[in-house]
A and B are shown apart, each in its own frame.
Chain A
Amino acid sequence: MLNYTAPSTVEEAVRILASASGPAKVLSGGTDLLVQLRSGRAKPGLIVDIKKIPGISGIREQDGAFVIGAATPGAVIGECEALRQAWPGVVEAANLIGSTQVQGRASLAGNLCNASPAADSVPALIAARAICVVAGPNGQREVPVESITTGPGRTSLRPDEFIVEFRLPKRPPRSADAYLRFIPRTEMDIAVVGAGVSLTLDAAGVCADARVVLGAVAPTAVIVPEAAAALIGRKLDDAALAALDQAARRACKPIDDKRGTIEYRTKVAGVMARRAAAIAYERAGKRR
């Protein structure tokens, strides 16, 4: 028998999760959870709908930094012009998840906690150095996005914890990000490979900082420091892009499945990393 509750504060939600007698699931957009309920993959005794908590859905800008509520739907993220300006890669990644209908509900917290290796928003959030604010019985703690997913379908969150919001830092001048995914069609598919790149350039157009993250090529999203190192101190010339490509390929530990072979995913990861870097570089160059 399934129970449902919709607490109105973070503290109440934590209390309910901590005192649940059986398995409980946190509900935000439900676009993964309801599919799992129907298939029997998830069999919670209790659903805790967090959407009645004030501020859990919506975007706030504070001195150039952004706070995105955990349950904010993708469509709302896409409509936030200021966020789109500051973090175009995060927004394009979030908006790649599912259809218009799915965008009406699907959230960043759900995409992250569903813990699919192919989650589109995750490489972009990690490239952006996004921080999750996690609520639990001992209050709130800040956790880098890359520390949440531990494997397919698994997270580091305790049963009495949930994500309240995401924080994106203020951007230095001449900074931009980009996310690209490869799918064999144009819409409504799951990433064969995803690549998120965030860059900061100096006044001469040389990369001063870079972060490169790949999705769908390992059990979790992979940060590739060697790929970032290939860009830093350079102007995205052919040699830098070739080194980036090689580093991205070396970081891949993909599986063979119906979406792609190991060889294919590995090759495409290099291509996606290069193209995402080129887009981020062009965007950053326009922000003088």
Chain B
Amino acid sequence: MSKHHVSTIINGEPTEFLCEAQQTLLDVLRDELHLTGSKEGCSSGDCGACSVTIDGRLVCSCLTLAVEAEGHKIETIEGLAQGNDLHPLQRKFLEHAALQCGFCTPGVLVAAKALLDRNPNPTETETRYWLAGNLCRCTGYDKIIRAVLDAAAEMRGESVSA
């Protein structure tokens, strides 16, 4: 069977790839395009480690066929930092030690970015519900939530109180 030819924009770069029908977007990102920041955790939409955005909408790349990416804009964790400049979320995750093993971190960051793009001033409750689909077995979540709220405050230009 012939492969599908897919044209997308990934992290701002026009990108073309060939894929088979059953390959997920996560498969192609990791195995074909070598963007290995997105992780495979559960493969069932429960853990959020594979989170990316498609046209700005947060989704699980493990529950998206690669061929569905045709004509759409994908953002992955690799697009978050600008060169050597970490995104405020990334800096705050380091400052707050909001990670231990780091496996969930790319997905959490992509999801948190999608939240702040929509709502620059989320409450703690809104942040916790938004990130309910991102499982972390290390941190107990508190540090993650504090880091996201702190990054949001900095991005709003408010003086930060930790």
Contact = CB atoms under 8 A, between A and B. Distances in A.
A99 B132 contact: yes
B59 A49 contact: no
Interface string A70-111: 000101000000000000000000000011111011000000
By secondary structure, the B interface counts as: mixed
A44 to B, nearest CB: 10
Given A30-B65, A37-B22, A104 B59 contact: yes
Interface residues of A, number: 27
A188 B135 CA distance: 11
Interface in B18-71: 20-22, 24, 43-46, 48, 51, 54, 57-60, 62-65, 67-68, 70
Contact of A34 (B64, B111, B130, B132): B64
Given A47-B65, A49-B67, A99-B132, 19 more contacts: A1-B1, A2-B21, A2-B22, A6-B67, A30-B68, A31-B63, A34-B24, A35-B63, A37-B22, A47-B21, A51-B68, A73-B57, A75-B57, A98-B133, A100-B130, A100-B132, A101-B133, A102-B133, A187-B132
Contact of A30 (B43, B51, B63, B115): B63
Contacts of A104: 54, 57-59
Nearest to B50: A101
Contacts, number: 88
B65 A101 contact: no
Contact of A105 (B44, B59, B114, B134): B59
Counting chain B CB atoms within 10 Å of each CB, the highest count among A75, A99, A105 belongs to A99
A3 interface: yes
A186 B20 CA distance: 38
A278 to B, nearest CB: 23
Contacts of B131: 100
Nearest to B129: A187
A101 B54 contact: no
A264 interface: no
B4 interface: yes
Interface in B114-150: 114-115, 129-134
Contacts of B115: 100
Main secondary structure of the interface of A (DSSP, over half): mixed
Interface in A182-197: 186-188
Nearest to A51: B68
A37 B63 CA distance: 10
A156 to B, nearest CB: 26
Interface of A: 1-4, 6, 27, 30-31, 34-35, 37-38, 47, 49, 51, 73, 75, 98-102, 104-105, 186-188
Contacts of B22: 2, 37
B133 A99 contact: yes
Given A2-B22, A104-B57, A104-B59, A188 B132 contact: yes
A187 to B, nearest CB: 4
Nearest to B110: A101
Given A4-B4, A4-B65, A31-B63, A100 B111 contact: yes
A78 B59 CA distance: 16
A34 B65 contact: yes
B60 A102 contact: yes
A93 B28 CA distance: 33
19 contacts: A4-B67, A31-B63, A34-B24, A35-B63, A37-B22, A49-B68, A51-B68, A99-B45, A99-B48, A100-B115, A101-B59, A101-B111, A102-B45, A102-B63, A104-B54, A104-B59, A187-B132, A187-B133, A188-B133
Contact of B62 (A1, A2, A34, A51): A34
Contacts of B45: 31, 35, 98-99, 101-102
B63 A100 contact: no
Contacts of A105: 57, 59-60, 63-64
Top 7 A-B residue pairs of the complex, sorted by shortest distance between their CB atoms:
A99-B133, A4-B21, A187-B132, A104-B59, A104-B57, A2-B21, A101-B60
